[in-house]
Amino acid sequence: MVKEQEAKIQFHDLYKFRSVWMGLAILWIIYYHFPHDFITNPLLLKLQLYGYAGVDMFLFASGIGCYYSLSKDNNPLGFMKRRLKRILPSYWFFLIMWSVLKLVLNQVDLKVILGNFLGVQYFSSAGIAFNWYIGLLFVFYILAPVLFELVKNAATSLKYVMLTVLMILFTVPFIGDQGLLIAFSRLPIFFIGMCFGKAGVSRENVSTKGAALITAAGIFGAVVLYIVDRYFYSYIWKTGLAWYVFMFIAPFLCLLISCVSDFVSKVKPGKAILSVLEFFGKYSFELFMAHLYVIDLRAFLLKKGYLPMGFGPGGLL
């Protein structure tokens, strides 16, 4: 009986590898923006095509982290202060350099720069934004205390399902507007992350049934992704299928990474690899900002004729 009890794995145990998830996620995103011309292997090209899923991994991990944070102190202002203290210094640092580039190219004015500094520019039709992800984070952080209460008070599996469906319904009005859908179609995975966060805070065990459901969801998502990619590719971006499907895949993928990480951590080479990924994960937001800046720096250098056409990364998330 004791050995059986010790063998049980808690969700909380799996979350100790969240930095590894985020390290792999940021590498995947950077790979997604890597020049396509340099990659010829079909499997590597397909892996690159789905690199935007790194954002879903980020948001799943962020949902877990937000639930943990709010479970310790659910004061909305205190929560927002902690979150902004984490991201604003890096964001503003790279935003200053980005603004200089855009001012030189005469692509922004002070109004646009202010909108970016406040994190609302992406939702404005006036001028360009540094990136949509930052504005979305601010929106999700505002919503997080409300979502926390919903998740905390959910007592049955049916309520979790109903709430997740509600999160999906909230995103439906954005279908047809790819610019906004790319952001708000990620609300369900952020919410699901908060649900998993509750399981971690509650020290719930990973039951055989739970593991089977997570695995089944991951397989279901992968099958749907394959079908829409093969037969309905022209619709996946307009309808958000490219992003919605990862609400099923991302949790399975992240928890699978935890299981693999736990296994490889028992050998010395594995520990070394994990320490590198954890480092990337710890500074994943800074790396994310830096690689966005490099993309715009490349555009600047192309505009000035300092780089040959086709050199450097680019793409959507």
Residue 146 maps to a domain: yes
Q: What does the alpha-carbon distance between residue 35 and residue 189 come to, in Å, rounded to a whole number?
A: 28
SS3 state of residue 245: coil
Total count of residues recorded for the chain: 317
Judge contact between 315 and 308, C-beta under 8 A: no
Task: Kindly report, residue by residue over 81-121, the tens digit of the pLDDT.
Answer: 999 999 999 999 999 999 998 998 888 999 999 999 999 99
Mean pLDDT of 230-254: 91
- Higher confidence at residue 54 or residue 310? 54
**Of 110, 142, 140, residue with least CA distance to 126:** 110
In a domain, 315, yes or no: no
**Which is it for the CA torsion 142, 146, 147, 148, positive or negative?**
positive
Separation CA 256–CA 252 (nearest Å): 6
| Residue 205 bridge partners (DSSP) | 10
In a domain, 259, yes or no: yes
pTM of the model: 0.91
Domain containing 218 equals: 2-304
- Counted domains in the chain: 1
Do the domain assignments include residue 60? yes
Q: What is the mean pLDDT of the chain?
A: 90
pLDDT tens string 43-63: 888 889 899 999 999 999 999
309 is a domain residue: no
Say if 255 falls within a structural domain.
Answer: yes
Position 316 scores a pLDDT of 47
Q: Mean pLDDT throughout 159-178?
A: 93
Q: Would residue 85 count as lying in a domain? A: yes
- Whether residue 137 contacts residue 87, with contact meaning beta carbons closer than 8 Å, is answered with yes
CB 33 within 8 A of CB 295: yes
pLDDT category, 245, cuts 50, 70, 90?
very high
- What digits encode the pLDDT tens for the residues 278-308? 999 999 999 999 999 998 888 778 777 766 6
In a domain, 317, yes or no: no
1 pLDDT band (50/70/90 cuts)?
Answer: very low
Q: Which residues pair with 10 in a beta bridge?
A: 205
The H or E element containing residue 190 is helix 187-201
How far are the Cα atoms of 6, 73, 175, 212 from residue 243, in angstroms, in the given order? 38, 31, 12, 23
193-221: pLDDT as tens digits: 999 999 999 999 999 999 999 999 999 99
